[in-house]
Amino acid sequence: MKKKAIIISVVIVAVLAAILIPLLCIPRPVTGKIVVIPLTGSITTEESSLFSGSVITPKLVRDYLTRAEGDPAVKAIVLRIESPGGEIAPCQEILWEIERIKETKSVPIVISMGGTAASGGYYISTKADKIVALPTTMTGSIGVISAVTNIEELLEKLGIQIEIFKGGKYKDMYWGFRELTPEEQEIMQELVDEYYEQFVDVVAEGRGLSKEEVRNLATGQIYTGTEAKELGLVDELGDLNTATDLAMELAGLETAMVEYYQPPKLTIWSLLGLADAIKVRLSGLSAQDIILLEILNHNYRQPLFLYQS
């Protein structure tokens, strides 16, 4: 009788095991999606080309975020940033796009910093829910840079004379064909200072720091990811996987599918930049000639949120 009871017990355990083990092995259903958006290059309004390399534009970011916004499965967004910054207006537009998606989609935004996410690259990160940096990430560089190249003596050596006709006292101050007057230098500095204060305000608001604390950090200095975490500029140290795990946690998900958005392909219009460059080379111009052309074409330097290593 005792032996029979043991056999029955063993059979019951075996049956239960046969039922429960497969159930435990069934993967938990995926309840949402996390998208990883790559943002690589300088921040500008111009589209990327084979000649200019990868860039980050407001249109690019808007297209990415609109795609995520239209996908009901998306529960969190990770922005993978690899950028030294760039032009100020596009930085502001991109920041507004990030704030907009947070309001309309109501999903957490996590920044994953690559090797460099400095100046404008940091500016566009400030309103995210969390920022994750590598210990070796170069970030910070909170500040503004602007330069007006004075090529007056160069033009004299080349025997080039340029006559300026202007309407407005300061209209030619950015052209670089003469030295700036003290009054013009003051105007330029006031413009830079205004953008600097804007940068300070954005960091203070986004990171929950006082303006005075930010000003002490906003010296243009580069910080490593480790230093940035100690200073309150980033939240965690880790890689892209750390950022996606954090995004999953913030979204309240136990499991999630991770979708990696791909950069857009170059269009025929992008190829025109390369075609123009080839034409210049085939024209027989020397390296010095090309440099001079670049100076003349891009002499006006607007203030930038840019880190230049």
**Cβ density class 109-136: b for 16+ within 10 Å, e for less:** bbbbbbebbbbbbbbbbbbbbbbbbbee
User: For position 31, what pLDDT does the model report?
Assistant: 72
Please state, in angstroms and rounded to a whole number, the distance separating the CA atoms of residues 258 and 272. 35
98, part of any domain: yes
20, part of any domain: no
255, part of any domain: yes
Q: Secondary structure of the chain: what % helix, strand, coil (to 5)?
A: 45, 20, 35
Of 30-34, 65-69, 179-183, the poorest mean pLDDT is in 30-34
Q: How many domains does the chain have?
A: 1
The per-residue pLDDT for range 251-282, each reduced to its tens digit, is 999 999 999 999 887 655 555 555 555 555 55
Specify the CATH number for the domain of residue 119: 3.90.226.10
What residues are annotated to the active site? 119, 171
**Cβ density class 38-64: b for 16+ within 10 Å, e for less:** bbbbbbbeebbbeebeebbbbebbbeb
Q: What is the pLDDT averaged over residues 91-103?
A: 96
The pTM score is 0.82
Please state, in angstroms and rounded to a whole number, the distance separating the CA atoms of residues 52 and 54. 7
46, part of any domain: yes
Would you say residue 168 has pLDDT above 60?
Answer: yes
Please state, in angstroms and rounded to a whole number, the distance separating the CA atoms of residues 166 and 163. 10
3-state secondary structure 231-260: HCCCCEECCHHHHHHHHHHHCCCCCCEEEE
Q: What is the pLDDT averaged over residues 7-11?
A: 59
Element (H, E) at 130: strand 130-133
Q: Can you give the residue range of the structural domain that contains 286?
A: 29-145+199-298
184, part of any domain: no
175 burial via Cβ count (<10 Å: 0-12, 13-18, 19+) = middle
Which residue, among 51, 42, 36, 45, has the nearest Cα to 266 in the 3D structure? 51
The per-residue pLDDT for range 286-302, each reduced to its tens digit, is 655 655 565 555 555 67
132, part of any domain: yes
The per-residue pLDDT for range 281-290, each reduced to its tens digit, is 556 666 556 5
174, part of any domain: no
2, part of any domain: no
User: For position 163, what pLDDT does the model report?
Assistant: 86
